[in-house]
Amino acid sequence: MSYKILSQQCLIAVFVAALFSSCSKGSSDSDNPNPGGGDDDNIVPPTEVAASATSGFFMNDWAPRKFTAPQYDFITAPLTRETIKITADYSQSVAKVSKYIFGNNANPYIGQMVTEPVLLGHLKELSPNIIRFPGGNISSIYFWNRNPGAKPADAPDKLLYDNNSVDAGYWFGNNNEGWTLSVNNYYNMLSQIGSTGIITVNYSYARYGTSDHPDRVAAHLAADWVRADKGKTKFWEIGNESSGPWQAGYKIDVSKNKDGQPEIITGTIYGKHFKVFADSMRKAATEVGAQIKIGAQLVQYDATNSWNVTDRTWNAEYFAAAGDYADYYIIHDYYTPIGSNTSADEILNSAVKISKDNMDRVKASMQQGGVLQKPIALTEWNIGAEGNKQMISNLNGLHAAIVLGELVKNNYGMASRWDIGNGYNNGNDMGSFSMGDDGDGVTKWSPRPSFYYMYYFQKCFGDRMFSSSVSGSNPNILTYASSFSDGGDAGLVLVNKGTSSEMASVELKNFKPGARYYYYVLQGGEGGDFSRKVLVNGQGPSAPGGGPLNYSSLKARSAKLPSSSVKLELPARSVVYLIMEKAK
């Protein structure tokens, strides 16, 4: 470490500043409403950016957001010379931010939820604006309006997976036992936390049903849900990962099928069935005066040489059969190979590459299919890495922050993370909350590190994204810049993927600075890359995993805003959430 000789005046200034280093909001430092000055005539206003076709109607509920200044601890800006320079230009609009980017998944094995006040409290704070249900593979064997054990007569006792005939294991929406989540309590939960829903109907019943016309019967079941819903749910999707061999209905017993379907599903079959479902569901919506949007499943990766032969032609076959019938398109991605012991760098690098690649491929598929560009919904996402407790680590939170920024940048309309709760499974747990089965003192419904990164992202990121860059194109530093339209404050997400700390100067162009700036630093605790802990401004959990439980009242760090430029340390493997006030 090198040192510079300071003048007597500098030493005095540093000493005086240090006296205030532990002051908090409400202390004697008076805020200058416009310390940075600035000439409004030199500010270039932002251009209005039209909503992308791939975000589309998900932007209909866009609204201006306002940043509310938090309680804070006064800090002294660092004197160390910066190693990188971050610039954001508030005349260069990139996109509006869909509120539906911040979604999550519920599932029928999480419990009734409305009986869990701790969980509901965390969900209210997290504010997942859309929650998918029943989600996952269970939706393919789910009968929403049935009592436990009361399967339809045309639902076979056994289903085919690969070459094995296994008990169907159907799930039922009227099950009120404590271990599962009923349809009614799903709706009650949404109401209590102020979220809306997206519902996945049982498409696979159209494949394995033994009636004369299983597609019509399954479509009628879905339409009845639309009728019973009575407009509470705007977004619906037909089926879940139907092209995958792990899914009920991928393979059927043709000896029991009565309408000549092939043993293995194809994009053509799904496309034809999609039109039957959509017609029935739209008719039902009209009957109850509801406006709904219906999504179809696409394959998001380059499946040209896929091990799964069905995926290779899925998109082309679907479009040939269904054309422009869907309102939007659905993809899933777990960013890293499921079950692989993926390294930290590979996990972090996947967030940027795959988010863009998926959007590019789906847009190309729509173009090749000869249909209009439609909104894209990523209704499941997480990481698939296993072996070092990657899923419950701080690093997965870091990955989540990057994904959110990239989803906005690439104009996704909606995204719902998998999932609210799942199960410890030796650390291979995609849940945002512990189910209380870690076995080492982490209590039930304690938030995982990913929760904190998503909570602070939504808290500190505005409703419009703006252009930002890093000097020298440092590949380890990522930036996402935004503004809050109600008040004009700037919110930035600064990511350091690297293993060494960086000192950053952050400069905003075409922005008139206000009184002060605030920030939160999120980084891992002990345990290396895959630490189970996240520290927020130095505060962490008392348990072996998770983060500080007082996150909603935890003070920001703050200092006077001398100009439209500030200096901040970006610790290794961290995210800094920064808000700079605009002159009022």
Is residue 393 within 8 Å of 428, Cβ to Cβ?
no
Residue 39, exposed/middle/buried by CB under 10 A (0-12, 13-18, 19+)? Answer: exposed
Residues 334 and 442 in one domain: yes
pLDDT-derived band at 80 (thresholds 50, 70, 90) equals confident
390-430 pLDDT, tens digit per residue, is 999 999 999 999 999 999 999 999 999 999 999 999 999 99
Residue 574 in domain: yes
Is the residue at 45 inside a domain?
A: yes
Structure tokens at 390: 């990657």
Q: Where are the beta strands (DSSP E) in 388-462?
A: 414-417
Check whether residue 261 and residue 382 sit in a common domain. Answer: yes
CA distance 83 to 65: 33
Mean pLDDT over 32-51 rounds to 68
* Predicted local distance difference test score (pLDDT) of residue 40: 60
The whole-chain average pLDDT of the chain stands at: 93
Residue-by-residue DSSP string for 19-87? HTTT-BTTSSPPPPS-TT---GGGPPPPPP-PPPTTTGGGGGG-------PPPEEE-PPP-SPPSEEEE
Residue 2, in any domain of the structure: no
Give CA 57 to chain center in angstroms: 18
pLDDT for the residue 172: 98
Give the residue from 273, 295, 291, 104 showing the smallest Cα distance to 200: 295
Asked if the structure places residue 278 within a domain, the reply is: yes
Q: What is the mean pLDDT of residues 467-495?
A: 94
Please check whether residues 490 and 380 belong to one and the same domain: no
Q: Give the end of a domain, one of 412, 439, 460.
A: 460
pLDDT at residue number 584: 86
Q: What is the DSSP string of 439-455?
A: SSSPPTTPBPHHHHHHH
Is the same domain home to 479 and 427? no
Residues 201 and 56 in one domain: no
pLDDT at 13 over 80: no
Residue 135 sits in a domain whose CATH number is 3.20.20.80
How far, in Å, CA of 129 to CA of 454, rounded? 12
pLDDT, residue 42, reads 86
Query: Is residue 142 pLDDT above 70, yes or no?
Result: yes
Residues 55 and 166 in one domain: no
Query: Is 386 strand, coil or helix?
Result: coil
The domain tally of the chain equals: 2
Residue 487 shares a structural domain with residue 397: no
| Cα separation, 364 vs 500, whole angstroms | 39
For 216-265, the pLDDT digits (tens) are: 999 999 999 999 999 999 999 999 999 999 999 999 999 999 999 999 99
pTM of the model: 0.93
Extract the tokens encoding 537.
């401004």
Q: Do residues 58 and 191 share a domain?
A: no
- Residue 114 carries which DSSP code? T
The confidence band for 47, taking pLDDT boundaries of 50, 70 and 90, is: confident
Which domain covers residue 231, as residue numbers? Answer: 99-460
Does 429 sit behind a cis peptide bond, omega within 30 degrees of 0 on the bond before it? no
Would 568 be classed as within a structural domain? Answer: yes
Query: pLDDT-based confidence at 30, cuts 50/70/90?
Result: very low
Q: What is the pLDDT of residue 48?
A: 84
CA–CA distance, 139 with 473 (Å, rounded to integer)? 44
The pLDDT of residue 41? 62
Q: In the structure encoding, which two tokens stand for residue 487, read together?
A: 């008040």
Statement: residue 109 has pLDDT above 90: yes
- 575, part of any domain: yes
Query: What's the one-letter identity of residue 186?
Result: Y
51 and 133 in a single domain? The answer is no
> Looking at residue 318, what is its pLDDT?
98
- Work out whether the CA dihedral 40, 584, 97, 446 comes out positive or negative: positive
Q: Is 227 helix (H, G, I), strand (E, B) or coil?
A: helix
CATH number at residue 61: 2.60.40.1180
In tens, the pLDDT along 336-374 reads 999 999 999 999 999 999 999 999 999 999 999 999 999
Domain boundary among 409, 434, 460: 460
Q: How many CB atoms lie within 10 A of CB 302?
A: 12
146-157 pLDDT, tens digit each: 999 999 999 999
Return the SS3 of 241.
coil
Do both 304 and 427 map to the same domain?
Answer: yes
Among candidate residues 96, 97, 107, the one with its CA nearest the CA of residue 131: 107
Residues 326 and 342 placed together within one structural domain of the fold: yes
Instruction: Decide which of 433, 460, 487 is a domain's last residue.
Output: 460
In a domain, 3, yes or no: no
Q: Are residues 90 and 125 in the same domain?
A: no
Query: What is the per-residue pLDDT for 39?
Result: 54
Does residue 1 belong to any structural domain of this protein?
no
Q: Which residues contact 117 (CB under 8 A, 6 or more apart)?
A: none
